[in-house]
Chains A and B, each alone.
Chain A
Amino acid sequence: MKRIFLLHIGLIVLLFFAQFVLPTYHQGVMARIMVMAVFAMGYNLMFGYTGLLSLGHAMFFAAGMYGCGLAIKLAGAGVVVALGAGLASAAILALVVGLLALRTIGVGFMIVTLMFAQTLYLVILYFGTYTRGDEGFALAADSRILAGIDLTQPTARYFAAWVLFSGVLLGILALVRSRRGRVMVAIRENEERARMLGYDIWRHKLVVVILSGTISGAAGATYALLFGYVGASFAQVPYSIFPLLWVLLGGPGTVLGPFIGTLFMFYLVDISSGLTDAWMLVVGVTLVLLTLFLPKGLLGSLRARGVKWLV
């Protein structure tokens, strides 16, 4: 077996056994990190592999989260149906946003996605009767049971996050090694040349946006189910910046980069807020230092220094 598969399977196995060693607190943190890493991996498909820098990915996360949460709250749906509703909302939103936003490029694309995300946030506030606005709503514990497994339990929660994470990680690994994945990289590197080779750039980009939005939506829907809270803060600008940050830290255009970046950021904030109140200072200084000394992210720099087989 190739070492690239060994590395990814190894991480998945490691994470599976980690739940037996980790204390309850870190089990919860890791479950959250795995769900957020899925969010970042969806983002990475657009930004890292295809070169589409979106500043509005919070809308896909929120679409998944609210699609799932509202299905449970208003329609009393079961977990499977609710998950489906979350995925469908994110996918449809991604289709509409993709059709409109892909008419722009570069900074225009960044701002259009930012505006659409802001619109969704305001729409959530406007329909406060159903969404409870900024306050958000909690999902009752008895509605969060999947096939007899109580998702409110720490172990079940970790396991569910692990299943989602592993599935998405392997799916993306297969995608970026496929022909479609290589076309995505070709678009990122030189759009004109890819077009002249006969690829339908517009359709490839649209597919990537839908995939990326749906994966980010899956993270949002899972987050709502596992942690039982749906709130408008997840639709706000910081949650569009976070995935960009995590991906840039870990290494854009690497399969494991988003996970590494998320892990690094979560524990940086966790540890620094334990030592001092000034966690924002620690985060800020780290970001500036990373851009100065590790511009390609952790894994990207590793790849540039000789570990060429990383994808």
Chain B
Amino acid sequence: MEFGPHLILAMLEGLVQASVLTLTALGLSLVFGVMRVVNVAHGEFFMLGAVLAWWITQALGGPAALGFAVALIGAPLLVGLIAAGADWLVLRRIDYDPERTIVATIGLLYIIQQVVLMTYGPEARPVTPPFNQRLAIPWFEWANGGLELYFPWGLSTTSYKLFVIAAALGIGLALWAVMARTRLGLILRATQADSETAQAFGVPVERVYALVFGIGAALAALGAVLVVPIQQAHYLMGGDPLLLSFIVVIIGGLGSLRGTVLAAILIGMSDGIISVFFSPTLAKILATLLVAMVLVYRPQGLFGKVRA
């Protein structure tokens, strides 16, 4: 096995994972940053996005690209509405108390899983990617006294995977633009900094919270729609994204969106690369311990600021 081409392949796989993880973790980070609550049902909103994407593409039929495009907009929108509704019905009424929110969202987790199990069933189902050209990975080699371009046998990626990376980048930039440049972003940042003062200035904090909870869930659903042509939709698929986003948000520093992105890329990439080259279990043990140690000795996260 040649090292160079395999490393490129591993990095590409890692980048795809990192892209999806970035979107999911940004959703969790936004909710945590603005509302100061931990949403344990975040992974279920991810799963709901994937299942709805399958459902929408099946209901529409027709060319794969059309169904996928509708799913890419429709699924996050629906998931966002469901989440905002849950916020309005439950979280608002328990005053966003951190501990009670954890229990309430564990309840939501069970409810969503069971409803999906009863309607969608226990099968794992794929969504056809809108396009899927196989792209061979090029590599250089010294031969006949000069550099020569060639394609190692069996090593390839697909155009769809490259699209996932580009899409995540675009969505991330759009989110940044909204947060930094628009009136809505200003309101969100004001609520995050001090919700009481924001309310005194006429910000409808309760509605902002419902909106943020909806956007957070929609971001998770968006990541899921992007990943579902690569990884099948299943009612138990929410566990891993939840745990990984948790880690990312903490390592990135609470409430720091930039830190979240950096941490997501770091963790997504290292997870992808490590599992190509090493025993996955041992790699996970080391990665998990490392994360714990970062938290113990640098509780503000790798990129967070120390709070006064």
- A-to-B contact residues, CB < 8 Å: 53, 100-101, 103-105, 107-108, 110-112, 114-116, 118-119, 122-123, 125-126, 237, 241, 244-245, 248, 277-281, 283-288, 290-292, 295
Does the CB pair A122–B285 fall under 8 Å?
yes
- Interface presence of B104 (CB below 8 A): yes
Does the CB pair B296–A118 fall under 8 Å?
no
CB distance from A14 to the nearest CB of B (A): 29
Question: Which B residues are in CB contact (< 8 Å) with A53?
Answer: 99
Does the CB pair B111–A284 fall under 8 Å?
yes
CB distance from A134 to the nearest CB of B (A): 11
Does the CB pair A115–B90 fall under 8 Å?
no
- Interface presence of B133 (CB below 8 A): no
Question: Which B residues are in CB contact (< 8 Å) with A104?
Answer: 295-296, 299
Contact residue among A107, A118, A241 (Cβ-Cβ distance under 8 Å from B243): A118
Closest to A287 in B: B107
Does the CB pair B103–A118 fall under 8 Å?
no
Closest to A128 in B: B281
Task: Tell me, in angstroms, the Cα distance from A179 to B55 when the chains sit together.
Answer: 60
Contact residue among B93, B107, B285 (Cβ-Cβ distance under 8 Å from A284): B107
In the assembled complex, 9 residue pairs joining A and B whose CB atoms fall closer than 8 Å, in A order, are A108-B250, A112-B295, A116-B292, A277-B118, A281-B114, A283-B107, A284-B108, A288-B104, A291-B103
Does the CB pair A237–B243 fall under 8 Å?
yes
- Known interface pairs A104-B295, A281-B115, A288-B107. Does A122 touch B246 (Cβ–Cβ under 8 Å)? no
CB distance from B264 to the nearest CB of A (A): 16
Question: Which A residues are in CB contact (< 8 Å) with B291?
Answer: 115
- Known interface pairs A248-B103, A295-B94. Does A119 touch B108 (Cβ–Cβ under 8 Å)? no
Mark out the residues of chain B between 58 and 112 whose CB falls within 8 Å of any chain A CB in the assembled complex. Answer: 90, 93-94, 97, 99-100, 102-104, 106-112
Does the CB pair B110–A283 fall under 8 Å?
yes
Bits for B278-304, please: 1 = Cβ < 8 Å to A, else 0. Answer: 000110110011011101110100000
Contact residue among A105, A114, A284 (Cβ-Cβ distance under 8 Å from B114): A284
Instruction: Give 15 A-B pairs besides A111-B246, A115-B292 with Cβ atoms closer than 8 angstroms.
Output: A53-B99, A103-B296, A108-B295, A115-B288, A119-B292, A122-B281, A122-B285, A125-B281, A237-B239, A244-B102, A244-B103, A248-B99, A278-B114, A288-B90, A288-B107
CB distance from A82 to the nearest CB of B (A): 26
Question: Which A residues are in CB contact (< 8 Å) with B99?
Answer: 53, 248
Question: Which A residues are in CB contact (< 8 Å) with B102?
Answer: 244
Does the CB pair A280–B292 fall under 8 Å?
no
Does the CB pair A119–B289 fall under 8 Å?
yes
Does the CB pair B111–A281 fall under 8 Å?
yes
- Interface presence of B15 (CB below 8 A): no
Mark out the residues of chain B between 181 and 234 whose CB falls within 8 Å of any chain A CB in the assembled complex. Answer: none
Residue count of chain B within 8 Å CB distance of chain A? 41
For the residues of A in contact with B, the DSSP-based class is: helix
Task: Tell me, in angstroms, the Cα distance from A114 to B243 when the chains sit together.
Answer: 9
Mark out the residues of chain B between 131 and 169 whose CB falls within 8 Å of any chain A CB in the assembled complex. Answer: none
Contact residue among B38, B111, B243 (Cβ-Cβ distance under 8 Å from A288): B111
- Known interface pairs A284-B114, A291-B104, A295-B100. Does A111 touch B250 (Cβ–Cβ under 8 Å)? yes
Task: Tell me, in angstroms, the Cα distance from A101 to B226 when the chains sit together.
Answer: 36
For B104, B109, B113, B296, the residue with the greatest tally of chain A CB atoms inside 10 Å of its CB is B296
Does the CB pair B296–A288 fall under 8 Å?
no
Contact residue among A123, A281, A295 (Cβ-Cβ distance under 8 Å from B285): A123
Question: Which A residues are in CB contact (< 8 Å) with B289?
Answer: 115, 119
CB distance from B88 to the nearest CB of A (A): 13
Task: Tell me, in angstroms, the Cα distance from A114 to B38 when the chains sit together.
Answer: 14
Does the CB pair A285–B107 fall under 8 Å?
yes
Question: Which B residues are in CB contact (< 8 Å) with A100?
Answer: 292-293, 296
Contact residue among B97, B106, B284, B293 (Cβ-Cβ distance under 8 Å from A295): B97
Closest to A280 in B: B114
Question: Which B residues are in CB contact (< 8 Å) with A248?
Answer: 99, 103
Question: Which A residues are in CB contact (< 8 Å) with B295?
Answer: 104, 108, 111-112, 115
Question: Which B residues are in CB contact (< 8 Å) with A287?
Answer: 103-104, 106-107, 110
- Interface presence of B25 (CB below 8 A): no
Question: Which B residues are in CB contact (< 8 Å) with A280?
Answer: 110-111, 113-114, 117
Bits for B32-46, please: 1 = Cβ < 8 Å to A, else 0. Answer: 000000100000000
Task: Tell me, in angstroms, the Cα distance from A125 to B279 when the chains sit together.
Answer: 12
Task: Tell me, in angstroms, the Cα distance from A119 to B243 when the chains sit together.
Answer: 13
Question: Which B residues are in CB contact (< 8 Å) with A295?
Answer: 94, 97, 100
Bits for B226-253, please: 1 = Cβ < 8 Å to A, else 0. Answer: 0000000000000100010011001000
Does the CB pair A245–B247 fall under 8 Å?
no
Closest 3 CB pairs of A and B: A284-B110, A287-B107, A284-B111
- Known interface pairs A122-B281, A123-B285, A280-B113. Does A290 touch B103 (Cβ–Cβ under 8 Å)? yes
Closest to B279 in A: A126
Task: Tell me, in angstroms, the Cα distance from A281 to B281 when the chains sit together.
Answer: 33
- Interface presence of B254 (CB below 8 A): yes
Task: Tell me, in angstroms, the Cα distance from A102 to B108 when the chains sit together.
Answer: 30
Does the CB pair B246–A114 fall under 8 Å?
yes
Question: Which A residues are in CB contact (< 8 Å) with B282?
Answer: 126
CB distance from B112 to the nearest CB of A (A): 8
Task: Tell me, in angstroms, the Cα distance from A248 to B102 when the chains sit together.
Answer: 11
Closest to B32 in A: A107
- Known interface pairs A119-B288, A126-B281, A287-B104. Does A292 touch B110 (Cβ–Cβ under 8 Å)? no
Task: Tell me, in angstroms, the Cα distance from A254 to B106 when the chains sit together.
Answer: 22
CB distance from A135 to the nearest CB of B (A): 15
Does the CB pair A118–B288 fall under 8 Å?
yes
Closest to A126 in B: B281
Question: Which A residues are in CB contact (< 8 Å) with B94?
Answer: 291-292, 295
